[in-house]
Amino acid sequence: MKKQTVSSRSPIPSNKSKRQQPERIQKLLAQAGVGSRRQVEKWIADGSIDVNGAQAKLGDKITTRDIVKLRGRPVKLAGKLQVDTQVLIYHKPAGEIVSKRDPEGRPSVFKRLPRLKTGRWIAVGRLDLNTQGLLMFTNDGDLANKLMHPSQQVDREYAVRVMGVVTSEMVERLVKGVELEDGKARFEDVHESGGAGINRWFHVVVAEGRNRVVRRLWESQNCKVSRLIRVRYGTVFLPPGLPTGHHQFLDKKEVQALKSLTGGD
């Protein structure tokens, strides 16, 4: 398991210095909260971004002095980069989707979030429709990308209620790794946390954000997940007193701990 430490440094360096050194376009737009790096790369690929009147290409580098347009609308990078990083945690209830638009009209987590004067909220990972628990959002797309990137191996901890007979041999297999349809996956840690009979609670840790990976790992052992709650992401825990459907902001020290976790300033 990757060691998760909380830095004792509390000040957060401000982004108020002007960005004059060229940076890859997806990095600079992500830092400005325009979107995650992955989303910016999609916009570049489909021709939605222009720089100084020419269609942007992956690998292009820009500064805040360049004229950037997203779908024909100017992006004022200098103003967006002057905003300090904000991170909030949201206690997602089951039944909400982590998407801004849904053809089926299901409720979205984004409808519950406070509005930003500048930039947009970017979700740090996702939880499926039936999963409850900790979701993080930030206005810093670069930070979001680092927290989600597989190379960072950031721990995600879940409380999971399992229906089925769970043996020590089964747990050992889950920790060593099992083959799923999209490759090998494993739990970094598994420990029992209550219940009796065929309905027992466990706390499990994964170091990746693959779709439904916790549920699929248990299903590989002929067990069914009847309830799933994310309780930790990296250095951030779901506060016990935070009701479902509510949010709270991280303080400066907590934001700095997240940045330190990914090797950032």
pLDDT at position 265 is: 60
| Helix axis angle, 141-148 to 252-261, nearest 10° | 50
The answer to whether residue 128 is catalytic is yes
Low-confidence ranges of the chain (pLDDT < 50): 1-19
Q: Is the dihedral angle over the CA atoms 209, 80, 50, 70 positive or is it negative?
A: positive
Range 73-76, long-range pairs (CB < 8 A, 24+ positions): 75/29, 75/32, 75/34
Of 162, 226, 233, 225, nearest in space to 191 by CA: 162
> For tokens 């509390």, what's the residue?
10
**C-alpha distances out from residue 182 to 179, 185, 259, Å:** 8, 9, 30
Structure token pair of residue 232: 């930790």
- Residue 70: is it exposed, middle or buried by C-beta count within 10 angstroms (0-12/13-18/19+)? middle
Which residue among the candidates 84, 102, 128, 182 is catalytic per the annotation? 128
* Domains along the sequence of the chain with CATH: 23-81 (3.10.290.10), 87-151+236-261 (3.30.2350.10), 155-233 (3.30.2350.10)
pLDDT of residue 6: 36
